[in-house]
Amino acid sequence: MIKRILACFLAICLCLGLMSCAQSNPAPTTTPAAEEPGSDAVAEETFTATSQGFGGDVTATITMAGGELTACVLTGDAETPAIGGNALSTLEEQVLAAGGADIDGVAGATITSNAVKAAVQDCLDQANGVEKTETLSFIPGTYEGSAFGMMGEIKVSVTVDKTSIQEINVTEFNETQLIGWGLDTAPIELLPQEMVKYQTLNVDAVTGATVTSNGLKSAVANALAASGVEISLLQNGPKPVRESSDETLSCDIVVAGAGGAGLMAALEAAYNGADVIVVEKAGVLTGSSTRNGGLLMAAGTEYADLSTEALIDFIYEDIGRKNVDEVRIRGLVEGSNDLLKFFMHQGTVIECVQNIWDGAVDLPAVYMAAAENPDCEIDLKEYTTSIGSYYIVPLYERALELGVKFLFNTPMTSLTTENGRVTGLLCERADGTSVQVSADSTILATGGFAGDPEKIAANRTMQENQYSYYGSNTNTGEGMLAAEAIGAAIRYEDDMPFLATLTSAYTGNWFLSLMVTPAGERFTKEYDYHNAVSADLNRAGWCYAYEIIDESFEGDAYAAAIAAHEDGSAGANVVAADSVQELAEKLAMDPSTLEATLTRYNELCAMGVDEDYGKDAQYLKPIAVDGSKRLFALKSTVSITDSFGGIQTDPVARVLDTDGDPISGLYAAGAVAFTDWIDVEYPGCGYGFAIALYMGRMAGVTALTDMGVPDVKDIVLLEQ
């Protein structure tokens, strides 16, 4: 039995980043130390300094007495609470044990660790009266350095003369194309130029590629550490401004958003001779389509025995419970084979097709792109690796060939209208300059709003605010709000998260365990597709759950969890107890509720039939409640991957007003308009990406047709 967790949402990791120290530090304060009988008083002095962490400033305050470091307090309110935030207490202990800044740091919180080292060293320099020069001075030569980016190690070579950085070359990296590299505005291309031009490491991260940006800057700092330069001068230098100017542009069709939906819409329009401009909020193609796991849902192909009718029935009847739009779903599925052939014609390599969820949903519908596939064989086989850029790169390159103009770092702020018709859009860049684009048709493909915690909190049913988000932080709903401002109909649906063991590498697989809510109640058939489990949890009103096992489960995919608890690395993600009463108390549950849940579950295990939820008998394993075996609770937190709902459109992407009538000149596709596609459960891998591509295609064709373009040609059908 193959156990797969949705790959596109597991590509999350922390990496090394630039640590910059603040230049200004308060004067040290001196206080008398407590006196012991028969001893002389020892004066205490405190020193404070800051350095740039992962999310913001990390501040170190140290106390020195008699030339020794006696106390250390670290604060960093902007650090990720579960990662860098939790690491600060451990780092305080390391600083005290080392008596200085020479510490090991905390694995998984490297950026925060380096910020602490820099801030503590700054404090020590103050204490020791170290005078800092304001002039750059290097030992001439070429230096190499490395740090971790989003997808792996970034290596650089930096050449300097006596007074300046002469050249920065990125020699090795494994970042995602069109996010980390491959564009003039991407970190690998842009940041080395800026650091040399302005002689500073204090350059802004590229919007949408912060982790790669920080990794690259940290690699350069590590290289220059051996050059004799005072690194803080480079880290704290004046921040250069990426200047632009106001622009007024016009075209046939303007598209907001350069994800899968936006690119498909632009392709359809440009293929038919339209003049197309795409405005993109980020500096790179960082939307959900590029970030996904390279998964596309399709049926009716020559590579797998799955008919279009079987997939339609699954999405519309089984998962959608007939509460979704059958017309849209039928169009999506019936056109999926053509779309797959189109991608392969553009150069996308397909490696394999997978079942939606082996054992639970045995439908071979998930097509996975690959970097290469020499034999061009597409089989139902074990998943290896894939990424969304394998699909997106050919689309972007094809769009450039067709003359599409892209404006990066240009977020849309509002739509322009005249006599009830949308006439284009307005954008405002970070430097305050504006871009106005007038167009016959405007297509919104700006993504959902899951990157805005306030919007998620206002449109969800889950209790508490404990969930993870693994999409793009640039998806904050601007397109949806702009459409709503001119009278578009918006439907805010409860977010449909999926449950994955993403809170810790030490959680289990939930097939064998008993899953309970934070109230101690069972809520699902544990052996099921993770989207189904999370939908059950969402309906129960919770955003996290616990897998309950005993120590006999150690060999059943839970050995890592138990070991992590024993060595302390699992933290609060794994809780152990010697009794049900103790476990309930540690989890803040009512002991009688948890005991009743366990008793009932064990009865079902003894019967060999799950009368309550229908779990397969082979996965029913009793849990010791008599104290003979230690109990464990493994926390699994919901991960929100995108918002569902948004702008309401007709089946061919025309935006509708609150009366149900089309708004002239306005179209929407992708996650900004996910209404009518999902009921309470997400159907499976590659579905959202397929929707984005299909509706982008519809938006482009419909806009051209409404503009009166004769004989509109569908690029998907003509280029296969």
Q: Exposed, middle or buried: residue 34 (CB in 10 Å: 0-12, 13-18, 19+)? A: exposed
Q: Is 216 helix (H, G, I), strand (E, B) or coil?
A: helix
pLDDT digits (tens, 9 = 90+) for 627-650: 999 999 998 887 777 888 899 999
The answer to which of 349-353, 425-429, 596-600, 659-663 has the lowest mean pLDDT is 349-353
Per-residue pLDDT at 216 exceeds 80? yes
Q: What are phi and psi of 77, to 5 degrees?
A: -65, -25
Q: What is the pLDDT of residues 146-178, one digit of tens each?
A: 988 888 899 999 999 999 999 999 999 999 899
The answer for residues whose C-beta is within 8 angstroms of residue 445's C-beta and 6 or more apart is: 255, 256, 257, 258, 259, 261, 262, 265, 479, 668, 669, 670, 672, 692, 696, 699
Q: How confident is the model over 578-585, as a mean pLDDT?
A: 97
Domains and CATH numbers, the chain: 8-34+41-127 (3.90.1010), 141-235 (3.90.1010.20), 247-496+641-718 (3.50.50.60), 498-640 (3.90.700.10)
pLDDT score for 233:
81
Determine contact, residues 61/119, Cβ cutoff 8 Å. no
| pLDDT confidence band for 257 (50 / 70 / 90) | very high
The mean predicted confidence, pLDDT, of the chain is 86
Helical ranges in 540-676 per DSSP H: 559-567, 580-586, 591-607
Which two structure tokens, joined as six digits, stand for 622? 């009793």
pTM for this prediction: 0.81
Cα–Cα distance for residue pair 345/339, rounded to 1 Å:
10
Question: Can you name the residues that pair with 50 across neighbouring β-strands?
Answer: 59
pLDDT of residue 325: 95
Q: Are the C-beta atoms of residues 652 and 644 closer than 8 Å to each other?
A: no
Is residue 572 scored above 90 in pLDDT?
no
Q: Is the distance from CB of 103 to CB of 116 less than 8 angstroms? A: yes
Question: Distance (Å, rounded) from C-alpha 455 to C-alpha 338?
Answer: 36
| Nearest of 180, 226, 140 to residue 15 by alpha carbon | 180
Neighbours of 87 (CB within 10 A): 26
Residue whose tokens read 């949408």: 208
Residue 87 is which amino acid?
Answer: A
φ/ψ (deg, to 5) at 243: -80, 145
Say if residue 20's pLDDT is above 50.
Answer: no
For the ranges 106-110, 172-176, 218-222, 405-409, the lowest mean pLDDT is seen at 106-110
- If pLDDT is split at 50, 70 and 90, which confidence band does 134 have? confident
Return the exposure string of 48-70: e unless at least 16 CB atoms fall within 10 Å of the residue's CB, then b: bbbbbbbbebbbbbbbbeeeebe
Judged against a pLDDT cut of 50, whether residue 7 lies above it is answered with no
Q: What is the distance between the alpha carbons of residues 98 and 120, in angstroms, rounded to a whole number?
A: 11
DSSP 267: H
With CA atoms as reference, report the closest residue to 380 among 453, 477, 479, 301.
301
What DSSP designation does 657 have? B
User: What whole-number distance in Å separates Cα of residue 180 and Cα of residue 189?
Assistant: 9
Which has the higher per-residue pLDDT, 497 or 292? 292
pLDDT of residue 183: 92
H or E, element range at 65: strand 57-65
Do 539 and 546 touch, CB atoms closer than 8 A?
A: no
Beta pairing, strands 295-297 & 361-370: antiparallel
Q: What does the pLDDT look like over 222-251, one tens digit per residue?
A: 899 899 888 778 877 777 877 789 999 999
Is residue 22's pLDDT more than 90? no
Cβ atoms of 226 and 146 closer than 8 Å: no
**SS3 label, residue 678:** coil
End-to-end CA distance of the chain: 35
Rg (CA), the chain: 28
Contact 393, 178 (CB under 8 A): yes
